[in-house]
Structure 1
Amino acid sequence: MPPSLEILASAQPDPEFLEACALPRHKNAPPLPANVDIPTLRATSNKHKNEARDALGGPPPNLTERDIEIPVRDGSRILAYVYSPSDAGPGDDLPIFLFFHGGGFCLGTRHDDMESNRILALKAGIIIVCLDYRLAPEHPFPQAIHDGVDALHWIAQNPTQVHPSASPSAGLIIGGTSAGANIANGVVYLNRDLGSPAKITGQFLGVGPLLPPPFVPEKYKDDYVSHEQNKDVTIPPEELARAFVGQIQTRRSQYLLSIHRDTQEYLRRTSKFVGLMV
């Protein structure tokens, strides 16, 4: 059965997106190699990103940026990069956004997405904490989720060590892009399952691979067309995407695909809450 017209219509790019894609910096971006090992790709990726950050320059005068260290369960400490409005001080009670960068669980640093995070911190008036979670293959999945949960709990318990105006009661948001969206979603589920007192008030899941092809339910496969349609233009290339998935050993953790893990149980509990018989 062909995909529904509604599904096909949803794939039409927004004009603003097409305009952004036409910018020289995007048209001239070098393609990602598909046949290199992870360490080589990581070094290449970091080099290009460092050059882009150098071109971006330092923070604007109304924004403060700094590194902090966060203790995690194995006794080590991981870095996080904090963005905060410069005029924020004690008593301002600004929301906290714990952000996870993308990179196929294998690439990236706390400095990724710097330009967009600067804009977001200033326009939304929030504290952004970009976590340097540990990467596969050196630290196999779900290490990234464990780092994320540990960071979440530490931030919730020690907000003023993040920033004097950081306030979980004003908002504690978790999010990320690409693989970072998967990590963020897994952190939310694990935090819930642990019965943690850290109260998450919102999520941002940007272009996360929340439903890889092998896990698409049979009844939805006819509508799952984007993966095939974009096989020659996807970022990263298909071969590289497989390499990323191979590094994380997908089936080892229920929290990688946590968005699909307990839908029936959630619906059962929700239905009982609203007074329905189930």
Structure 2
Amino acid sequence: MKGGLRTLSVVTSFFLLAPNFFLVALLIFSSSASAQSSGSCDVPAVNDPTTRDMISLEPVEDSWWDSVEEPRFNLVSDVFTDFTVDNDSATAIGMKLVPGHMYTFCISISSNQDDPPLDPNSDIYLMTEPNWDRYKLDYELRDEVGFFDAFDMLPVEWRDMDDWLPFRDVHAYEGVTYQEFSVAIDSSGSGFFGGGDIPYYLVIDGWNNRRHTNTDAAGGDVDVEVLIDVEDRLNIPKFTATLLVGSLPLACIIVPMIIHSRYMSNGKEGSDVEVSREVPYLDKEQSDKRDYDE
């Protein structure tokens, strides 16, 4: 009985504590992988032959005669590309970012020699496809003042349903000529419908959009060079959070029950053992009585 309880205690403790050690190990390896990819981009000047199917250049202006196809393949190798952004316009790089990789972007912006601006500073945004569609609509309606006046009347908590936002609300870099940043994707597709990898867009903005922190139009064309350094990355599975959160309360409930059960079982086993002991006081009392009678 005692051996069975000890085995049960060891097995239960293992299953309760193992997820915590597993999560700590994943965090250590994941952090080291992220640290290795935090430096400057190490990208060759010549792209892989399949790279052209991993990215696409899309202007913000919609033109029926110049249709742009989405990238066919996931972005899993380094990319180098350069292009020109016209004054009062924007151009985006379309790509499919996937889990299991760390993407480091190095963007350099300089004045175009044919139409140099007074200040080549531009805005850089990383956004998902739905936000890119809203961004393009925002650009098309930039001269419709009444539309944005009505939009500003909406409550703040509702505006994100109709307004474009940078990825994770943080990947917006405004008024820069050079920028480096890294990003890793946790999951692909929708949490309800799943399926497919979501296209992302790296937008080089050269017009005065509606963000109050953005930079005005440069007044000329700018040349852009983009390096994308792709490295493998260890992703922590989603179920580890559930294990970590659920194992600690279970441990607080189950471990005291096991300790109490073992304590009670040891008490019962001890009560069944008969302990014999001498009572010298009775013998001494009888001998004293005989001496008194004599």
TM-score range, shorter chain: under 0.3
RCO greater where, 1 or 2, for CA within 8 Å and sep 6 or more?
A: 2
Q: Name the structure with the higher strand share.
A: 2
Q: What is the TM-score normalised by the length of structure 1?
A: 0.21
Q: What is the TM-score normalised by the length of structure 2?
A: 0.20
Q: Name the structure with the higher helix share.
A: 1
Decide which structure has the larger Cα Rg and report it: 2
